[in-house]
Structure 1
Amino acid sequence: MRKYVIMGVQGSGKGTQSELLARDLDLVHISVGDIFRWHVQKHTKLGAQVRRTMNAGDLVGDDLVESVVRDRLDQHDWNFGFIIDGFPRNGRQAEFFMESYDIDAVIHLELPDAEVRRRVLSRRLCPGCGMDYNLIADRPEQEGRCDICGTELIVREDDTPEALAARLKDYHEKTKPVLDIFRRKEVVHDIDARPAPEDVQQAIRKTLDLPAYKG
């Protein structure tokens, strides 16, 4: 059984790299951000709380995040292991996580802030079917329209320059110290997230001594 945490600033490719690993290794990909977005789209009570937080450019509180993560992992549908992204984001969450689970590796995707801004501010979302686009590398065939359902694409509420600046500041102040906690366990692997996704995936697998990525 493999249990991985993937960390990195927004736009570093955590979701893409997690999905590639999960698909080939039969891991369950747990994205805390996706769980919250599902609640927002379904207009649940939790979703309303998350929406208010996102609109303010803040991160969701520790108690709520820990509760969501605990509930998800308690489903025990990860027979071969899991890879979790979007958690932990600060020291308290890291301590909570290490007390509950033995982590095999922490994959840390490194990306300069300037590249983060370029990537994140180019993202678009289809509010109809949930399809993600990136105007740099994954443009829709018809500008501004989803290829799947034709709905007009929007900018995520948390992808504004102001919200991104707040998250970058929060990341550097709170999340990076988490790596120091994990480094004491000697489980952190630093990966350059600037190359193409396939090359990043190959680097991850080489570092973790996993079967090579076949594409």
Structure 2
Amino acid sequence: MRKYVMMGVQGSGKGTQSELLCSDLDMVHIGVGDLFRWHVQNHTKLGAQVKRAMGAGALIGDDDVEAVVRGRLDQHDWNYGFVIDGFPRNARQAAFFMESYDIDAVIHLEIPDDEVRRRVLSRRLCPNCGMDYNLIADRPEVEGRCDICGHQLITRDDDTPEALDARLREYHQKTRPVLDLFRRKENVFDVDARPPADDVQAAIRKLLNLPAYQPG
């Protein structure tokens, strides 16, 4: 069983690399951001709190994050392991995670802030079917329209310049120190996240001594 944590600032490619890592290794990708977006889309009480926080570029409260993560991992559908991204984001969450779960490695995706801004501010979302687009590398066939359902694309509430700047500050102040905690007890691998996604995945697998990634 393999258990990994994927860390990096928003826009570093955590979700993409987690999906690629799970694609042929029978692991489950647990995207904490996706779990919270589900609550928002389904108008739960937690979803309303999350929407307010996301709009302000703030992080979700520790109690809510830990409860959602624990609930997801308690489903035990990850017989061959998991890759979790978007968690932990501060020292308290890291302590909770290390006390509750054994992990094999932390993958840290490194990327400059200016590249984060370029990537994040180019993202678009279909509010109808949930399809994600990026105007840099994955543009829709018809400008501003979803390829799947034709709905008009939007910018996510947390992808404004103001919200992004707030998240970057939070990351550097609270999340980067988590890496120092992990380095004391866990294997932490730093990976340059600027190259194409397939190249980043190949580098991750080499560091983890996993079977080579075969694109496509």
TM-score by length of 2: 0.99
Aligned to 1:170: 170
Aligned to 1:76: 76
Which amino acid letter does the alignment assign opposite residue 171 of structure 1?
Y
Q: Tell me the distance in 1 between the aligned counterparts of 2:126 and 2:195.
A: 26
Q: Tell me the distance in 1 between the aligned counterparts of 2:187 and 2:140.
A: 39
Aligned to 2:57: 57
Q: Tell me the distance in 1 between the aligned counterparts of 2:150 and 2:160.
A: 23
Aligned to 1:160: 160
RMSD: 0.6
Which amino acid letter does the alignment assign opposite residue 157 of structure 1?
D
Q: Which runs of 5+ in 1 are unaligned?
A: none
Aligned to 2:35: 35
Residues 176-200 of structure 1 show CA distances to partners (whole Å, capped at 9, x for unaligned) of: 0000011012410000000000000
Aligned to 2:151: 151
Secondary structure in 2 aligned to 1:206? Answer: helix
Q: Tell me the distance in 1 between the aligned counterparts of 2:186 and 2:34.
A: 29
Are 1:195 and 2:199 matched, yes or no? no
Q: Is the 2:106–2:186 Cα contact (8 Å) retained in structure 1? A: no
Aligned to 2:139: 139
* Alpha-carbon distance, 1:24 to partner: 1.0
Deviates more, 1:118-127 or 1:181-190: 181-190
Are 1:14 and 2:39 matched, yes or no? no
* Alpha-carbon distance, 1:101 to partner: 0.7
Secondary structure in 1 aligned to 2:78? Answer: coil
Q: Tell me the distance in 2 between the aligned counterparts of 1:123 and 1:68.
A: 25
Q: Tell me the distance in 2 between the aligned counterparts of 1:74 and 1:58.
A: 27
Q: Which runs of 5+ in 2 are unaligned?
A: none
Are 1:46 and 2:46 matched, yes or no? yes
Which amino acid letter does the alignment assign opposite residue 103 of structure 1?
I
Secondary structure in 1 aligned to 2:70? Answer: helix
Which amino acid letter does the alignment assign opposite residue 2 of structure 2?
R
Which amino acid letter does the alignment assign opposite residue 73 of structure 1?
L
Aligned to 1:208: 208
Residues 145-190 of structure 1 show CA distances to partners (whole Å, capped at 9, x for unaligned) of: 0000000000000000000000000000000000001101241000
* Alpha-carbon distance, 1:120 to partner: 0.2
Secondary structure in 2 aligned to 1:5? Answer: strand
Identity of aligned residues (%): 80
Q: Is the 2:104–2:186 Cα contact (8 Å) retained in structure 1? A: no
Aligned to 1:183: 183
Alignment coverage as a number of residue pairs: 215
* Alpha-carbon distance, 1:44 to partner: 1.2
Which amino acid letter does the alignment assign opposite residue 37 of structure 2?
R
Q: Tell me the distance in 2 between the aligned counterparts of 1:99 and 1:186.
A: 12
Q: Tell me the distance in 2 between the aligned counterparts of 1:100 and 1:123.
A: 34
Q: Tell me the distance in 1 between the aligned counterparts of 2:176 and 2:41.
A: 30
